[in-house]
Chain A
Amino acid sequence: MTATDTHRAIDAVWRIESAKLIAGIARIVGDVGVAEDLAQDALVAALERWPTSGIPDNPGAWLMATAKHRAIDVLRRGTRLERKHQELAVELEAHQEASAPDLDAAIDDHVGDDLLRLIFMACHPVLSTEARVALTLRLLGGLTTEEIARAFLVPEPTVAQRIVRAKRTLSEAHVPFEVPRGPELAERLSSVLGVIYLIFNEGYSATAGEDWVRPALCEDALRLARIVAELMPSDAEVHGLVALLEIQASRLRARVGPSGEPVLLLDQDRGRWDQLLIRRGLVALERAETLGGGLGPYTLQAAIAACHARARTAGETDWTRIAGLYGALAQLTPSPVVELNRAVAIAMAFGPAAGLELVDTLISEPSLKTYHLLPSVRGDLLAKLGRSDEARAEFERAASLTRNARERELLLARAAACETGASPVKPG
């Protein structure tokens, strides 16, 4: 193995092990910031050692043992941490003296729990949403600060600052390293799922910048969702989120045209949909539905996505079912955006006039005032009804509201199509 190969291999091991490592050490030291430092120290040790010694047969265990020893050292010195941690160290040492393999086994058994604790900590409500996103991608996704900065189009020092501050906030707020219980669990889990969904959406239709989609972010989010689903297999909504993201991600390839322009769902080449992800999504949806307890918002959205995934052509889409699912979603989480989507489904199922009727009730909605999809949908329905002038004005308005360059081009193109009267009037 060349030195470069070894470094690549170490990178790969780090990618695979870092979250587990940080989580395992965080349980010992009770502080994610310190845990991340210690995990990094172990990585540095590997970078020094492995190029000459070769990569151990079980590199994960090597890193964990190295980091653990450093953790115990830190606790022994007790300079950086409080007394309770010293007690923990004594306890740990007692364990270790009793029998070292037992401790390893104990850490192995805890891996899942520790990861879950780490996720809940990274998505803790004491942190701002931006901080949750950055910390989750960093600690669980294994992304570097630079990668996060690039993904969110913010300067690297901003992300670095955000992460440092987040770790400090958690430390100062004495957020315990544990999985919340009882009534707190549902609320905290919804924060975790919300963070993952937000990361996915930023990749799926970027709110700003030149690119319409950033697949790498979607894939990171999808991986995080899968991890949480495996850690909390009996929670229906986690599987619902996985199902939703798998199915949405299956269309990533078809969502972008040859020159980077967005291709809308009904215009997509379904042959380019990723059938492996669709299959995984449908399985996850079934798991969510089987677990029961009433369909949650992610599961309902996944069920809607599944309607599209099952249709071999756009024309075969079961819009009546989709309209019904949006109705259920609107009851569960009433929002103008959901209503707007329901209007689209109703237009497809029962004609543009029926859809427009519902859209028109949303015009005065304050939260939709700057939401580009409202005029975009309204423009589409008006065009279908042959009201070209009104349609053009709506598309232009939508173009002026979006912050995404690719989407703006598409909307302006649609406005121009109205002008020449090229937009055909077609029913449904």
Chain B
Amino acid sequence: MMRFMLIAMANKNSEEGCAPTPELMAAIGKLSEDMTKSGTLLEMGGLAPTSKGARLRLSGGKVTVTDGPFAEAKEVIGGYAIVQVESKAEAIELSRRFLQVHADILGPSYQMESEVRQFFNPADVGAEMAIR
């Protein structure tokens, strides 16, 4: 099996610190419950707006620190879930459901982005040891 991080990118809503509606909270809760019950969800978390964070940059051998908020919210992580699945397609399907829930509750005009990223060195010992 493989381990993936499903990343929900931040957007205007999350950056402004808007709490999700109770309906959305409930739907996401149901989704994560399903993933927990199927033994796939290992860990999940939501991140506070970038106004509460900072960005560090290394350049010319020097580290500079800039406090949030950051201008490009789309390139910022809003939340994540770590899942253990059989394939990238399965990780994509789980992420798709997460986005679908937003469309179902918030309507077709709602926009958000998500990334599916595979972990290096999952619990697999190595390619030569994995049997499938």
Contacts and interface: CB of A to CB of B under 8 A. Distances in A.
B132 interface: yes
A148 to B, nearest CB: 11
A128 B82 CA distance: 36
Given A57-B100, A230-B39, 20 more contacts: A8-B87, A9-B93, A12-B86, A12-B92, A57-B104, A59-B93, A147-B132, A211-B129, A215-B131, A216-B124, A216-B130, A216-B131, A219-B84, A222-B39, A223-B1, A223-B40, A227-B39, A252-B123, A252-B125, A253-B121
Interface string B21-46: 00000000000000011111011000
Interface in A139-160: 142, 147, 150-151
Contacts of B92: 9, 12
Interface size band for B: 20 to 34
Contacts of A9: 89, 92-93
A274 interface: yes
B39 A215 contact: no
A12 B87 contact: yes
Interface of A: 5, 8-9, 11-13, 15-16, 19, 57-59, 112, 142, 147, 150-151, 211, 213-220, 222-227, 230-231, 249-250, 252-253, 255-256, 260, 274, 276-277, 280
A170 to B, nearest CB: 24
Given A12-B87, A12-B89, A151-B131, A215 B125 contact: yes
B72 interface: no
Given A150-B131, A213-B129, A230-B36, A277 B123 contact: yes
Contacts of A8: 87-89
15 contacts: A8-B88, A9-B89, A15-B85, A16-B90, A151-B131, A211-B131, A213-B125, A215-B124, A215-B125, A219-B1, A224-B39, A230-B39, A252-B125, A253-B121, A277-B123
A223 B84 contact: yes
B92 to A, nearest CB: 7
Contacts of B125: 213, 215, 252-253, 255-256
A16 B130 CA distance: 21
A54 to B, nearest CB: 12
Find the residue from B42, B90, B93, B124 having the highest chain A CB count within 10 A: B93
Contacts of B126: 256
A231 B84 contact: no
A324 B126 CA distance: 36
A15 B1 contact: no
B23 to A, nearest CB: 17
Interface string B112-124: 0000000001011
A277 B94 CA distance: 21
B128 A260 contact: yes
Contacts of A252: 123-125
Given A9-B92, A57-B100, A223-B84, A16 B123 contact: no
A16 to B, nearest CB: 6
A217 B123 CA distance: 12
Contacts of B1: 216, 219-220, 223
Nearest to A8: B89
A403 B94 CA distance: 41
Nearest to A277: B123
A15 B86 contact: yes
